[in-house]
Chains A and B, each alone.
Chain A
């Protein structure tokens, strides 16, 4: 079974896989290629992958000057980090209490969590927008971050993970003299890294890519996140300057794709874990 002979069936299988992979990767290939093409190249020879006139510098300059890419990326990082930190700080103690402590409200809380899992930001956006508008906090990091500080999914994921942790470990910690917060900090968190990493990947991918909420609460470029910034850039370019557009796309896609390529195994584990548990 291990040393596979090169049979006809296997040749078909590999061809399908390779063909599929080429199709799936084609957008990236064309993105990289087009980002270096001059306008004339783009119109004349769309199928050639190597630019005839190397225009990377020109296109990247355009991309970087029309919209402040650094601001966009910085905003993306700030928003994602803030959201993730708050989510973890708020979800972990709650999940620990629900998984390992006995109290009467636990069942009601479980019902609320299951209900909360159903509700995406799209459903709560209207009242939140109205409220944020009344409070005049639109166009701020607060507006971008606040609704996501509570991650019901995070609570659910950590709850599942903590339930699988042996009760005796927590009992031992109590006998050793730890308080409940001490147990969370010294026993739960150090042993929950797989769940925390998985959740980090889930959270960052979701919020780095989210367009809906930033589109609603941000109208000022200074607080634009990467997807929103790209939308502005497209609006500013208007025409068919695909060279510059692809350069901008490349800049904005690179951070997360690079992170994925560097920590592939973690990404896949994270998605599997959050996926199957969710």
Chain B
């Protein structure tokens, strides 16, 4: 069941394609994080959804209602902006009340001087005040209601912005990097709060961020956008463990995944230095270039023995709970990053010759166009063969 559906959204600005046909479905109450590097089109997508920009092609469905030609004000979509976009001249209470005032009062009731004379205006205002207060209490900002944005801290402004978005019970929630203006501590704390607020509101939420940690920790599903295309939409775990595209693998994960260029050999095998890996013949033809990826935590560093590829440690970073080893392969001169536990890293030093080997079932192979290829494991015992060195 889908609550919100985007179909083939396209947008270009002065000839530059920003969105190249993005489609996405969100279930009721689902929290989707749109993540990608800056300029990948994620904010544009959000703005198109909100009705602040119009798409060149594609359609937006909310339930069975086509939103494409509905103006922003009538879409029943709320948005939290990166800059919060609070009205600087209004108090927190007035800011939160704006969407209610606009919807519940008629034009005449909103007029200064004349408004209070209109029938029903006082009752509506009382209700608005009550709703604003309830909202404020639930966000724990009821003590700030009389302050203007200029007199609030970043975290407080962010809550007011959330309140303004939530108070009218929208059908969809959009958030455009709402935490990026907060300091690091507050940001981690606010993640949990937003997830909790989302759970209570129970409406589909699209959350744009460039911070992969935010995306992975908060969302039900993560949508990775790169260069105007949605490359993968899946649960955080699948995104990390089973990336569908080389760019997804490259973008998600810290430190970054190790990637090696290689070519499919005549026998359908891929060689990387003196590593060899088999692929089923149907997927790629001989001579096709491929990319092999291995996440740093699946690189093992051996100080002795014959297993693995010879390499040299260039630099070590001690991070407390883990150690990052920056190595370079002797054979092909490629850098390899390994993430080790302090126990594994004990005794390692820069310039030390080591041998690296990889968790075979953790290797990803990507075709030239970036799509994932499933390697056919060659023999259970030694999926990775190394010519002895």
Given contacts A168-B82, A171-B50, contact A176 B89 (CB under 8 A): no
Contact A177 B47 (CB under 8 A): no
Contact B102 A172 (CB under 8 A): no
Q: Is A182 an interface residue (CB 8 A)?
A: yes
Complex Cα distance A151/B79, Å?
A: 37
Minimum CB–CB distance from A100 to chain B (whole Å) comes to: 12
Query: Which of B70-78, B280-288, B292-300, B357-365 lines the interface with chain A?
Result: B70-78
Given contacts A182-B102, A190-B89, contact A174 B52 (CB under 8 A): yes
Q: Is A105 an interface residue (CB 8 A)?
A: no
Q: Which chain A residue has the least Cβ–Cβ distance from B174? A: A175
* List of 9 A-B pairs having minimum Cβ-Cβ separation, nearest first: A177-B102, A168-B85, A172-B85, A190-B89, A176-B99, A168-B81, A177-B73, A174-B72, A176-B98
Provide 9 A-B residue pairs closer than 8 Å at the C-beta atoms, listed in order of the A residue: A169-B85, A171-B72, A171-B79, A172-B164, A174-B73, A175-B75, A182-B102, A187-B87, A191-B88
Q: Is A166 an interface residue (CB 8 A)?
A: yes
From B77, B89, B103, name the one whose CB has the most chain A CB atoms within 10 angstroms.
B89
Q: Is B271 an interface residue (CB 8 A)?
A: no
Q: Is B2 an interface residue (CB 8 A)?
A: no
Q: Is A58 an interface residue (CB 8 A)?
A: no
Q: Which chain A residue has the least Cβ–Cβ distance from B170? A: A175
Chain B 68-123 residues near chain A, CB threshold 8 A: 71-75, 77-79, 81-83, 85-90, 98-99, 102-103
Q: Is A178 an interface residue (CB 8 A)?
A: yes
Complex Cα distance A47/B301, Å?
A: 99
Number of interface residues of A (CB under 8 A): 17
Contact A175 B50 (CB under 8 A): yes
Chain B hits for A168, CB < 8 A: 81-83, 85
Chain A hits for B52, CB < 8 A: 171, 174-175
Contact B73 A176 (CB under 8 A): yes
Chain B 163-181 residues near chain A, CB threshold 8 A: 164
Complex Cα distance A172/B168, Å?
A: 13
From B74, B86, B87, name the one whose CB has the most chain A CB atoms within 10 angstroms.
B87
Minimum CB–CB distance from B75 to chain A (whole Å) comes to: 8
Chain A hits for B47, CB < 8 A: 171
Complex Cα distance A169/B83, Å?
A: 9
Minimum CB–CB distance from B118 to chain A (whole Å) comes to: 17
Complex Cα distance A263/B125, Å?
A: 37
Q: Which chain A residue has the least Cβ–Cβ distance from B77? A: A175
Given contacts A171-B47, A171-B50, contact A178 B73 (CB under 8 A): yes
Chain A hits for B87, CB < 8 A: 169, 172-173, 186-187, 190-191
Q: Which chain B residue has the least Cβ–Cβ distance from A179? A: B73
Contact B73 A172 (CB under 8 A): no
Chain B hits for A182, CB < 8 A: 102
Contact B73 A171 (CB under 8 A): no
Minimum CB–CB distance from A119 to chain B (whole Å) comes to: 33
Contact B102 A171 (CB under 8 A): no
Q: A109-135 toward B: CB 8 Å interface, digit per residue (1/0)?
A: 000000000000000000000000000
Instruction: With A171-B50, A175-B73 given, name 19 new contacts (CB 8 A).
Output: A168-B81, A172-B79, A172-B87, A172-B164, A173-B98, A174-B51, A174-B73, A175-B72, A175-B75, A175-B99, A176-B98, A177-B99, A177-B103, A179-B73, A186-B98, A187-B87, A190-B87, A191-B87, A191-B89
Chain B hits for A187, CB < 8 A: 87
Chain B hits for A174, CB < 8 A: 51-52, 71-73
Complex Cα distance A68/B78, Å?
A: 61
Chain A hits for B89, CB < 8 A: 190-191
Minimum CB–CB distance from B149 to chain A (whole Å) comes to: 11
Given contacts A174-B52, A174-B73, A176-B73, contact A166 B102 (CB under 8 A): no
Complex Cα distance A107/B312, Å?
A: 61
Contact B83 A166 (CB under 8 A): yes
Contact A171 B81 (CB under 8 A): yes
Contacting residue for B85 out of A166, A177, A179, A190, CB 8 A:
A166
Given contacts A168-B85, A169-B87, A187-B87, contact A175 B103 (CB under 8 A): no
Contact B88 A171 (CB under 8 A): no
Complex Cα distance A186/B82, Å?
A: 21
Q: Which chain A residue has the least Cβ–Cβ distance from B89? A: A190
Contact A176 B164 (CB under 8 A): yes
Q: A152-174 toward B: CB 8 Å interface, digit per residue (1/0)?
A: 00000000000000101101111
Chain A hits for B72, CB < 8 A: 171, 174-175
Chain A 160-214 residues near chain B, CB threshold 8 A: 166, 168-169, 171-179, 182, 186-187, 190-191
Minimum CB–CB distance from B388 to chain A (whole Å) comes to: 62
From A171, A173, A175, A190, name the one whose CB has the most chain B CB atoms within 10 angstroms.
A175
From A174, A177, A190, A191, name the one whose CB has the most chain B CB atoms within 10 angstroms.
A177
Complex Cα distance A168/B85, Å?
A: 5
Chain B hits for A169, CB < 8 A: 85, 87
From B79, B85, B164, name the one whose CB has the most chain A CB atoms within 10 angstroms.
B85
Contact B88 A175 (CB under 8 A): no
Q: Which chain A residue has the least Cβ–Cβ distance from B99? A: A176
Complex Cα distance A118/B98, Å?
A: 42
Chain B hits for A179, CB < 8 A: 73
From A168, A179, A186, name the one whose CB has the most chain B CB atoms within 10 angstroms.
A168
Q: Which chain A residue has the least Cβ–Cβ distance from B83? A: A168
Complex Cα distance A171/B83, Å?
A: 11
Chain A hits for B98, CB < 8 A: 173, 176, 178, 186
Contact B82 A175 (CB under 8 A): no
Complex Cα distance A175/B172, Å?
A: 12
Minimum CB–CB distance from A90 to chain B (whole Å) comes to: 21
Given contacts A177-B73, A187-B87, A190-B89, contact A172 B103 (CB under 8 A): no
